[in-house]
Structure 1
Amino acid sequence: MDQLETLVLENSDNILTITINRESALNALNQKTLNELKSTFEMAIDSKDVSGIILTGAGEKAFVAGADITELTELTDVNGRSFAEKGQEIFDLIESSMKPVIAAVNGFALGGGCELAMACHMRVATSNAKFGQPEVNLGVIPGYGGTQRLTQLVGKGKAVELMLTGDMIGADEALNLGLINYQVASREEMMDKARQILGKIKTKAPLAVGMVIDCVKAVFTAGENGYQTEANSFGRCCGTEDFKEGTAAFLEKRKPNFKGE
């Protein structure tokens, strides 16, 4: 992979931490950052040395405070659609990862930052986290999947309210709405909690983990029968070495040694 300019990577015990490192810009998403996120996730998804991914932002003030406004001002009705479609493609890559992805949200997660966090499979946030889709204040709407994922996570009524008012909500309300999985006091606790979750998942059968993610995504995929996706995936699991190992370990009262095969 080429040298990264906006991301910092750290792999510890097969858990890859991706830190968006534009602290002076509150980690705002520009095209360079999006491109690097795409290439990094493609690498991580294919790597045998990565079992799970944590995505976070540098510093204490922001996870991602939104899109780069200077780039937004260059959009027209001609190129705006492709701008949104590119972001949607990258965020779908994250959501479709068969390896679990946790957003560790510190500070502001607004606009594209909220959309990025929602594209991850789970979210852990610090008590100072703020979430919102304030695009209407700029005369646009969420373009990276926010209208869809926010509705899926918090329900139609609240999602419409948040997007039409542009209001921000704190970590307490985000937790109550189901937008985040956990709220913790500090950045250190946030990272520890994310690693704890991924560490537990790492002990499970990798192929089954990936298929759970795929089946859950099918719930919200137009034209896909989620029950059939589940049945198909269940059948595939039954043909794996991990299934043989898992059932044998259970009967022999020992811990399984899954190999992702």
Structure 2
Amino acid sequence: MEAMMEQREGVALFTICRPEKRNAVNFVVMEALEGALSEAEADERVKIFAITGAGDEAFCSGGDLHEFGPLRGAEAKQMLTRMGEVLYRLLTFPKPTAALVNGAAMGGGCELATACDFRFVKEGSRIGFIQG
């Protein structure tokens, strides 16, 4: 299981479950996030949508370079467009959203956190972009 969503007391909590990959987003996680957003939007019991990463080292390290790195041309453009659509869906979600940042949120992980309305950050977490 690479991602899961649980609901408790009005909160839909989406967890990226890839701590061995520092919770990097791959195609499976991207689709699961979109599905979770649809489910939470349609469920009247859900009052807030929250997202976090499994473990305590990384909220999300961005895109999975093993999956996305080899993509070129139209495939790369399609993947980036798709990821942008999912981030925009999170940004414009009609219910409040929160990022529970429990470790590094780098690159796409920073984008994921900043697409949320609120960010709750564990002490010692790092958020930003890697400069090359």
TM tier, smaller? over 0.9
* Partner Cα separation in structure 1 for residue 61 and residue 15 of structure 2: 14
* TM superposition score normalised by structure 2: 0.94
CA distance in structure 2 between the aligned counterparts of 1:55 and 1:61, rounded to whole angstroms: 15
User: Number of residues paired by the alignment?
Assistant: 132
Runs of 5+ consecutive residues of structure 1 not aligned to the other structure: 135-165, 168-261
From 72, 81, 88, the equivalent of 2:84 is 88
Q: Distance in 1 between matches of 2:8 and 2:75?
A: 40
Structure 2: runs of 5 or more not aligned: none
Task: Give, in angstroms, the shift of residue 120 of structure 1.
Answer: 0.9
- CA deviation digits over 1:164-223, x for unaligned, max 9? xx18xxxxxxxxxxxxxxxxxxxxxxxxxxxxxxxxxxxxxxxxxxxxxxxxxxxxxxxx
Distance 1:50 1:76 in 2: 39
- CA deviations on 1:34-62 (whole Å, 9 max, x unpaired) are 00000111110111120111111111100
Deviation of the 1:10 alpha carbon? 2.2
2:60 to 64, 70, 90: 64
Which residue matches 1:20? 16
Q: Which residue of 2 aligns with 1:6?
A: 2
Higher helix share: 1
Work out the CA distance in 1 between the residues paired with 2:61 and 2:89: 21
Distance in 2, matches of 1:120 and 1:34, equals: 16
Q: Are positions 1:132 and 2:94 aligned together? A: no
Aligned with 1:99: secondary structure? Answer: coil
Q: Secondary structure at the match of 1:39?
A: helix
Question: 1:72 Cα deviation (Å)?
Answer: 2.3
Runs of 4+ in 1 over 4 A off after TM superposition: none
Which one of 113, 117, 120 corresponds to residue 121 of structure 1? 117
Q: What is the correspondence of 1:129-168 to structure 2 with a 5 Å cutoff? A: 129-134=125-130, 166=131
Percent of aligned pairs with the same residue? 30
Q: Going by fraction, where is strand more abundant, 1 or 2?
A: 2
Query: Partner amino acid for 1:36?
Result: A
1:86-235 paired onto structure 2 within 5 Å: 86-134=82-130, 166=131
Q: Could you tell me which residue of structure 2 aligns to residue 232 of structure 1?
A: none
In the other structure, the counterpart of 2:46 is 50
Q: Please give the alpha-carbon distance, in whole angstroms, between the structure 2 residues aligned to 1:58 and 1:73.
A: 23
Q: Which has the larger radius of gyration?
A: 1
